[in-house]
Chains A and B, each alone.
Chain A
Amino acid sequence: MSKSLELKLLAESIEKITETATGFNLDFYPMRFEICPAEIIYTFGAYGMPARFTHWSFGKAYHKMKTQYDYNLSRIYEMVINSNPCYAFLLEGNSLIQNKMVMAHVLAHCDFFKNNVWFKHTNRDMLESMSVASQRFRNYELKYGCEKVEQFLDAALSLQQHIDPHSYIKEMPTTIKQCCGNQQKTPYDDMWNIGSKKEGAGDCNCQHKCTSIKRANDLMKFLLEYAPDLEEWQRDILSVLREEMLYFWPQMQTKIINEGWATYWHLRIMREMDLVESEALEFAKMHAGVIQTSKTSINPYFIGLKIFEDIEKRWNNPTEEERERYGCNGQEGREKIFEVRTVDNDVSFLRNYLTKELIEELDLYLFRKVGHDYKVVDKDWRKVRDELVRNLTNCGVPYIVVENGDYKKRGELHLKHLFEGLELDVLHLEKTLPHIYLIWGRPVHLETILDKKVVLFSYDGEKIAKKFA
């Protein structure tokens, strides 16, 4: 088939698919579809965006994806960007029917981006911001040397996930008032000073920058604001990486629900298309590939689809109990899933709708490493649900907060892992501390729990020390 004919056929299909999707009340931004060769799709996949700064870790990810593609181990059919207009990249070499399914899938993603509440604050012009930032980073490389920029990026990237994704809700309290002298006894002490001149850090004469702030959830932001010796270009890098993470975070926290939504709709939309028998077969195969299950992981497409279908079924035909508990009268399935799409993220999606019946029907279990083997250790539905939810909490990233920016009054950084039952990977911990040291410029400490004991890891610029409390 010639390329122009292919484009023409695609255009015809998209017309039909868009119409169908709109008929189902899907509500999406204007779409830009672009057909790309595999390398490009994998580049976008590795970088998370079509235009992002340069770093070897993206090269590593790219290599891995491309190798899997080259050996036919896995295949990305599309890549979609949360932006307005919405960009979707289709893999060159997709058959027409593959592209139809992908387009239907992508429209549902776009509907999700546009309507899910967790995306409300994302920057829809991120594409431009990233591309401009990448140009600035390039200039830093020219000015300060690639090695130096790379080294700083290594450090900043290792902390990139430690942001406060909800910082838009309220500004983080940057209480830098409590300098050495006037320690507060209770959180309300400062109330007594209202109106008096003593308010603020003006008359503090401690040597260190007053960073004895109570607790900061946003490590990136804290470093950005208080790391004493950063140069402007380094602050810029930290700030860009933080903005990027704020942009990516909603996608990270809605992986299952978003893929479930897209899978649910590509199935419905494709059923409305007039497929000849061979096309129907090809579609069925492709769909089966997408929702294929695995013994050692949770396929978000599969689990998300099943939950949505279950919700729809239950709200269409509620049991007596459900009628009472949820106040539904039946035949409200469609309405309900649109509501879920609007208000939930993965954690609440699983917490609210992964039921005992569903867990048993889908044969979900928990497994862990026992010696050389990975063994099923739990099938109790509550434990399965709770553990899945726990693994998704904070996008699976440990909570690390700044406990004190002036530890021991020496300007050292004291971090604390808010332990919730799961130990940190010690090797990674010990390799990450030097990265923070590079940014902070002074000794860095991290408090966590190992074997039920409080332990403080410290890095002083030369070696790691470990001290049990």
Chain B
Amino acid sequence: MDKKKVYIISREDWSLHRKGELDQQRHRQKVREAIKKNLADIITDESIIMSDGKKVYRVPIRSLEEYRFRYDHHKQKHGGIGDGDSKVGDVVASDRQGGGNGKGKGGAGEQPGIDYYEADISLEELQQMLFKDLVLPDLKEKHNKQLASETIEFRDIRKQGLQGNIDRKRTLMEVLKRNAKAGKPGIHGIKPEDLRYRTWETAFKYQSAAVVLAMMDTSGSMGPYEKYIARSFFFWMVQFIRSKYQQVEIVFLAHHTEAKEVTEEEFFTKGESGGTRCSSVYDLALNIIETRYSPNDYNIYAFHFSDGDNLSSDNERCVELINKMLAYCNLVGYGEIEGPYYYSSTLKNSFKTIEKSNFTTVSIRDQSGVYPALKAFFSNRSNQGTVRMMQPFDV
């Protein structure tokens, strides 16, 4: 090698080099998409339902796999290096305790070599994905209007503001006006004092009042699993209504052979036992509607979840009462959790005779049915959209 300098050392400014970060964002984005596709599984996660609803969740999901032809890792033998006295049969690693490789149910840690990507996701974010398309269907205008939500509207013009919000038309008007006053009409020489900016104000959205009756079977035939599924549904229903509609009342009703109005906490935690008479809860619901929520003033929604295992003598009365409720309600939904042991339900079968467009039934077999049930009940069937009553406003 010659004497010439054969090396260079340098230090550059790399602060604008963000490639890795950008592609990492794309990976995150794809993970989000994967979450979205698996929402049905994620939303029945017990840790979410049983929580106070404020936490950030770490959802362990498999990071996106880069699929290729490869050998079966588990059938392959691998090399290792011992301390000097290894013997055949020595255990060099174990995944019994999850191996520190991800966590969560479903044995996330059971297979080493699989990357788990813990996506931080807030309940709010989950809700946004979940509730994007959900609405209280067929909301109608009622006499009794209540404040529903705040919204931001651009409807004020000011002399100061953000560059991006310049109101070109009004600015030009000012130029015209000023030039005309000065005796040289036309658009020329825009001055700072001509500039006009659009700015926003908080507006109020008014909506007709609504009430949702949440009815749940808590009888002995509803096992912990069935109750869990019903509660999952109601949990997300409550979250959805509270996040989208500020002034919707929710009434919680639990029943076995008798029905009673309960607090939200009782509704989500208490288990009961005994036989089932579904008509009891419909009776109570009708009573509540008639005494407290006049259909003239309220949009009324009623949802009932049961395993369908009803006293057969009671079924006829149930149909009668549902029909009565349908006259009052925008929508009545009945969800039946199909246990492994019943092949056909007496209650759902009885409901087959009801042919009203505002009656919907769904069957749920397992956890993954919760999200479809939400979508079945809370989607707009007549494209009417929500009734929005704006305050009269003029600039």
Using a CB–CB distance below 8 Å, which chain A residues touch chain B?
Answer: 3, 7, 10-11, 14, 18, 22, 27-28, 30-37, 39-40, 42-43, 46-47, 54-60, 62-64, 66, 92, 157-162, 293-299, 302-303, 362-369, 372-379, 384, 387-388, 391, 396-398, 400, 417, 422-426, 428-429, 431-432, 435
Contact = CB atoms under 8 A, between A and B. Distances in A.
A34 B71 contact: no
B31 to A, nearest CB: 9
A298 B80 contact: yes
B88 A56 contact: no
Nearest to A14: B7
Contacts of B363: none
A33 B91 contact: no
24 contacts: A30-B7, A33-B8, A35-B9, A35-B10, A43-B20, A57-B27, A59-B22, A60-B115, A162-B69, A296-B80, A363-B84, A364-B82, A366-B78, A366-B79, A372-B96, A373-B96, A376-B89, A379-B86, A388-B79, A391-B78, A398-B70, A422-B72, A424-B70, A428-B70
**Main secondary structure on chain A at its contact with chain B?**
mixed
Contact of B11 (A30, A34, A57, A299): A34
Nearest to A380: B88
Interface string B40-77: 00000000000000000000000111111111111111
Contact of A425 (B70, B82, B85): B70
Contacts of A293: 81
B355 interface: no
B312 to A, nearest CB: 43
Contact of A375 (B12, B21, B28, B90): B90
Contacts of B115: 60, 64
Nearest to B94: A373
Contacts of A158: 66-68
Given A60-B27, A296-B78, A422-B76, A428 B8 contact: no
A166 B342 CA distance: 64
B77 A368 contact: yes
Most buried by B among A55, A367, A379, A431: A367
Contact of B69 (A39, A43, A54, A424): A424
B25 A59 contact: yes
Nearest to B95: A372
Nearest to B7: A31
A56 B80 contact: no
B64 A56 contact: yes
B92 to A, nearest CB: 4
B68 A432 contact: yes
B23 A66 contact: no
B contacts with A: majority SS:
loop
B26 interface: yes
Contacts of B23: 54-56, 58-60, 62
Nearest to B67: A431
A391 B73 CA distance: 11
A180 B84 CA distance: 62
Contact of B88 (A36, A379, A417): A379
B17 interface: yes
A378 to B, nearest CB: 7
A27 B6 CA distance: 11
B166 to A, nearest CB: 30
B22 A54 contact: yes
Contacts of A388: 79
A299 B81 contact: yes
Interface string B1-38: 10000111111101001011111111111100000000
Contacts of A295: 80-82, 92-93
B83 A374 contact: no
B10 A378 contact: no
A365 B79 contact: yes
A429 B69 CA distance: 5
A55 B29 CA distance: 12
B84 to A, nearest CB: 5
B91 A428 contact: no
Contacts of A367: 77-80, 92-93
B92 A374 contact: yes
Contact of B73 (A11, A14, A47, A425): A425
Given A56-B30, A157-B66, A429-B69, 15 more contacts: A3-B11, A34-B9, A34-B12, A39-B20, A40-B14, A57-B64, A63-B27, A162-B69, A295-B81, A296-B80, A297-B78, A373-B94, A378-B77, A397-B70, A422-B71
A365 B30 CA distance: 40
Contacts of B14: 36-37, 39-40
Contacts of B181: none
A11 B9 contact: yes
B105 interface: no
A369 B72 CA distance: 11
A424 B8 contact: no
B188 interface: no
Among B63, B80, B94, B95, residue most surrounded by chain A Cβ atoms (within 10 Å): B80
Contacts of A28: 6
Contact of A294 (B12, B76, B81, B88): B81
Contacts of B270: none
B87 interface: yes
Contacts of A378: 77, 88
B10 A422 contact: no
B86 A363 contact: yes
Nearest to A396: B71
Contacts of B20: 39, 42-43, 46-47, 58-59, 62, 66
A408 B22 CA distance: 45
Contacts of B71: 396, 398, 422-425
Contacts of B7: 14, 18, 30-33
Contacts of A160: 68
B89 A22 contact: no
B68 A377 contact: no
A417 B75 contact: no
B79 A432 contact: no
B67 A435 contact: yes
A379 B87 contact: yes
